[in-house]
Amino acid sequence: MTDAFVLGGTRTPVGRYAGSLSHIRVDDLLGQTMVWACERVGVPLERVEDIAAGCVNPAHEGMGDIARWAALAAGFPDSVPAITLNRFCASSLSCAISIAHAIRSEECSLGLAAGVESMSRSGWALMKGEAPFMPRGPVFMLDTMWAGAGGPPNPALLARNAYIEMMLTAQNVADRYGLTREEIDAFALRSHQHAAAARDSGRLAAEIHPVEIAATRKQPARVFEHDESIRGDTSAEKLAALPAQPNTTQMTAGNSSPLNDGASAVVLASAGAAQQLGVEPLARVVSSATYALDPQVMGIAPAFAIPKALARAGLAPADVDVWEVHEAYAAQALGVLRELPRQLDGFEVPDERLNPNGGAVAIGHPFGSSGTRYVLTLATELRLREARYGVLGVCVGSGQGVALVLENPRAA
């Protein structure tokens, strides 16, 4: 078995819902980001052997296999295959793991993992009747952003409340671990403060490819280069003043990840392919793991996936220099941090090693894009810190969790 390496990649700035990226077709957003990733690493498009891209809601402009359509629209040769994968919030992380598996089994020497989501452009789905030529009447229409591009709910899943709103799962996690509103808001504030510092220092710019925004009747042409959802000017007082969302007691717009648009992509390759290209690998893929539990407490699955990945890597928790824990909600991330010591013999993640550049509460969470964004962020952070090991864990709607361990070859 050969090793798989992350050679590098890029991402767009994360746009707000109806913000700077909302006018860009989702297939174009993905396609141009994949091209930029190859250009940044120095990989000819024809050299890519396979593409796997994550997208939770491809049922509008994506028309199914958005990875293939995006690649063709962006100028990849017809000979480059592509597949779209949907594991909700960990879609593109699962893509990176899938490409890494193919490389490690020597069935591929260089591939592209990517992800995209345009929550602004999610369409509506009209449901067909169950019988042919049904008479006209009321039409059942779904907002595909919330339905995950699916059809009418399954009665068996409705009976067990498997389609529970994600915000309610965050409240369930908060209740399970006895989290207070104050500590939830404090974690959200931490996310914004760290993200704002990373933006202002130029750290986030190291992974972002600016997007040129065409002129409109109301605005001149401009360059979009910073994540739109970061609130460096927020405070504990401002967060505390926000009302709880319906059917929750502690979840607010300020301690939840926002609705976003964005895309990201990373190039993975074998050591031989990297050497042929003359590219120094950014990180080595060490191990990965998945886990699943009751959808009612969706957010805590990374607390079980991460220990599995560390065990497969032969690492102790203290060996990990950077921890990236997905922040779908501040309460959900805190739940993971509360559960991890139970799974890691009492080890608590040091604050200075946790989400050093903020997380999704501040930066944003375009569903399909977040996984490869985390891969790029973690690999880049390990290189900049001259640190050796990093781990990332992403929670997944429906009660799953995915984890990945990376190593900085320079520190090996």
Query: Active-site residue numbers?
Result: 89, 365, 395
Q: Token match 């050969």: residue?
A: 2
Q: Token match 């946790």: residue?
A: 354
Task: Concatenate the DSSP letters of all residues of 110-147 into one string.
Answer: EEEEEEEEEGGG--EEEPPPSSTTPPP----EEEHHHH
Q: Which of 216, 217, 199 is nearest to 208 (CA)?
A: 199
Q: Token match 């001149």: residue?
A: 220
Task: Concatenate the DSSP letters of all residues of 209-244 into one string.
Answer: --EEE---SSS--EEE-S-SS--TT--HHHHHTSPP
Q: Are 14 and 258 in contact (CB under 8 A)?
A: no
d(CA 142, CA 162): 18
Q: What's at 371, amino acid-wise?
A: G
d(CA 14, CA 11): 8
CA 87 to chain centre: 10
Please report, for residues 37, 99, 275, 368, the alpha-carbon distance to residue 4 in angstroms, rounded to integers and kept in the order given: 17, 9, 13, 22
Q: How many CB atoms lie within 10 A of CB 389?
A: 23
